[in-house]
Amino acid sequence: MNVSFAAGPFEKLQSVINSELERLKSWLITNKLSLNIVKTEFMTIGSRQRINATQGSITIKLHGSEINKVDTVKSLGVHIDKFLSWSTHIEKLTKKVASAIGALKRIRPFVTTRTAVQVYQALIQPHFDYCCSVWDGFGETLSNKIQKLQNRAVRVITRSGYDASASSLLNNLHLDDLCLWRKKIKAGMMFKILNGDAPSFLQNLFSVRNSEYNL
């Protein structure tokens, strides 16, 4: 279970959280449930300047016990850090994809190019796709980091050298580079939102505005 709060001054945030946790405590008791304090964590999210300036200033307690403060948290498979930089998530993703590319490289001598592409789409592409609409707001450095992994994968698939043009290989395999692919995924999501095919919590984030111009 995740609970989130937003407030201006950190002192107010601390007060709001502690107050709401007391209400949560009462709800748990009423429903004969309990919360494992050892496994409960909290994280403050903000700019580097603000977070660093207030480091250690927030104390959150439940049942009289202080809750552990962390710098990163995993939610539904996505690693979120206190600066929303996505560096931790990309680091984890990189390790998974590198391992999958290693498996692809080992079987490549025994399969056709078509099968190798299918293995790529089954074992590697899903890591690039999962929740990418959420974590796509990162910088060029992280974007290049995962793009290099895709480049490595297509060179394995095509049995090409390290100096082979990744763009040409992707084009020959009818694959998009990751940046373009993420844009297509977000465009597809927006299409569903505009046409009422997305969950209501996403549709409620947007409103349609009709503008009239006098020409």
Q: Mind listing the pLDDT tens digit for each residue in 48-85?
A: 877 777 655 677 777 777 888 888 999 899 999 988 88
The answer to whether the CB of 127 falls within 8 A of the CB of 100 is yes
Residue 215 pLDDT: 52
Of 157 and 207, the structure prediction assigns the larger pLDDT to 157
Q: What CA–CA distance (Å, rounded) separates 118 from 105?
A: 13
Please compute the mean of the pLDDT values over residues 144-165 and round it to a whole number.
96
Quick one: pLDDT band at residue 172, thresholds 50, 70, 90? very high
pLDDT at 170 over 90: yes
pLDDT in tens, 90-137: 999 999 999 999 999 999 999 999 999 999 999 999 999 999 999 998
pLDDT in tens, 29-46: 888 888 777 888 888 888
In 10 A of CB 63, how many CB atoms?
13
Residue 213 pLDDT: 57
Q: What CA–CA distance (Å, rounded) separates 100 from 125?
A: 10
Mean pLDDT of the chain: 88
CA 183 to the chain's CA centroid: 15
pLDDT at 145 over 60: yes
